[in-house]
Chain A
Amino acid sequence: MPYQADPHQSEDWKTLNAFADGELAPAEQRAVAERLATSPEAAEALRGIVRLKQELQGLPAENAPPLPSLTALPRRRWRQLAAIAAVLVVAATVGPALLLWQRDDSETFVAASLAAHEQFASSALPQPMATVAPAAALPVASELARLGLQPVWQATSAAGQVRIGFVGARGCRLSLHVSQHAESALAANQANATLAGWNAGGRGYLLIAAEMPPARFEMIASFIKALTSEPAEKVEPLRIALQSEWHTAQPCLA
């Protein structure tokens, strides 16, 4: 039976929405979390709200007009021209090298991560690992373990990029790649059905799962992104929505 959000229960619906936004006081948040644990209808409604929020946040940006320009005062013009000339000289000298360096460095992280995932996904399934070595990856790994995604593979590159491969109870393989610094190639906060990348806390993150149903992948990606960048009250609704989603999980597409 679907969750009712008609006028007779509008307070419930409002509260659930505020919970999804991390806007409730701690005591209220606990009460809603307890209710969600025993009410599949409420949990389904929360999942709907979370999915709607994700869809809204994923809408492409509007094509904005250019910013208006202010007309410069004539007496300042020579200074502006001199400044522009100086910038052009520096840009012409240093710019291409900088751009090349940035693009290479960041794209290398993405390309290396994709190649590593491909190798992980096509290899024989290793035994689950007892522990995950990098301390920075522990919170994410332990959260995923609670959902039944066990770490089975791990690698650290010379540049300090950490890669962890997980496998779910239904055979889904998912890999998380962490760079020790923000990656410009991830600045646009890319996400699609199989890959999500973002920067948070001075690190770059890339999550890959080629065969997972898209809706579940999006939910996991949103959850891990929140885990790495949001306060606890914003994470909890996503955790509960994801747990609810897990009960209806489909086998992987591979």
Chain B
Amino acid sequence: MWRDERKASARRARLEREWTRLFRYACALTRDRERAADAAQEAALRVLTARSEPADDPAYRRWLYSILRNLLIDQSRRQQREQGTPAPESTDWRFDERALSAITVRQALEQLPVAMKEVVVLVDLDGFSYAEAAALIGVPAGTVMSRLSRARAMLLSIIGGANIRVLPSRHAVSG
């Protein structure tokens, strides 16, 4: 029916608006652009063919991200892949804003363990609150707060400087 087609088109347009951020989240969780692209596209198909979707925009975003995340967790379990990487050795840090450039920050972000990178992407890049990120990941808000503060300390540590010590993370993406 014409109404169905219009609905499908509106759905697609809505997903299109979140698409770049969703793909970035997939990249953060996989560290592999090809795998991220496959997963994001599979998630998109699920979204586009779902019977219904949340009307409220924040709920819609949480729904999208959770579909992608659950899909990747299922894949990981099937393939029994190791998702986490050991945290880099802590180094001394002193804030030097001249060292903060986009290239440096992106490279530092790539070095974070997946669980830490995930909260940075959700909170700093995609604007989720601690409570929203916690609900999505399935952990308490306090865990998001801890991971995020350690992730930022680690980012600043990687970027280069003195006096911030970062505890290693044992977390990886988990349901």
Contact = CB atoms under 8 A, between A and B. Distances in A.
Given A4-B163, A7-B165, A48-B156, A23 B129 contact: yes
A34 interface: no
B45 interface: yes
B130 A21 contact: yes
B95 A64 contact: no
Contact of B149 (A17, A76, A80): A17
A5 B165 CA distance: 6
Contacts of A49: 152
Contacts of A48: 95, 97, 156
Interface stretch (B18-26, B52-60, B65-73, B75-83): B18-26
Contacts, number: 116
Contacts of B130: 18, 21, 23
Contact of A79 (B2, B44, B48): B2
Interface stretch (A50-58, A116-124, A133-141): A50-58
Contacts of B163: 2-6
B167 interface: yes
Interface string A108-130: 00000000000000000000000
B8 A55 contact: no
A198 interface: no
B6 to A, nearest CB: 9
B162 A68 contact: no
B95 A65 contact: no
Contact of A17 (B106, B145, B167): B145
Contact of A51 (B44, B100, B120, B146): B100
B155 interface: yes
A6 B163 CA distance: 7
B15 A67 contact: yes
A49 B154 CA distance: 12
A55 B20 contact: no
Interface string B1-29: 01001001000100110011111100100
Given A2-B93, A48-B97, A65-B37, 19 more contacts: A5-B165, A10-B167, A14-B149, A17-B149, A18-B149, A23-B129, A47-B97, A55-B100, A55-B101, A56-B109, A56-B124, A59-B125, A64-B22, A64-B37, A65-B41, A68-B44, A79-B2, A79-B5, A80-B5
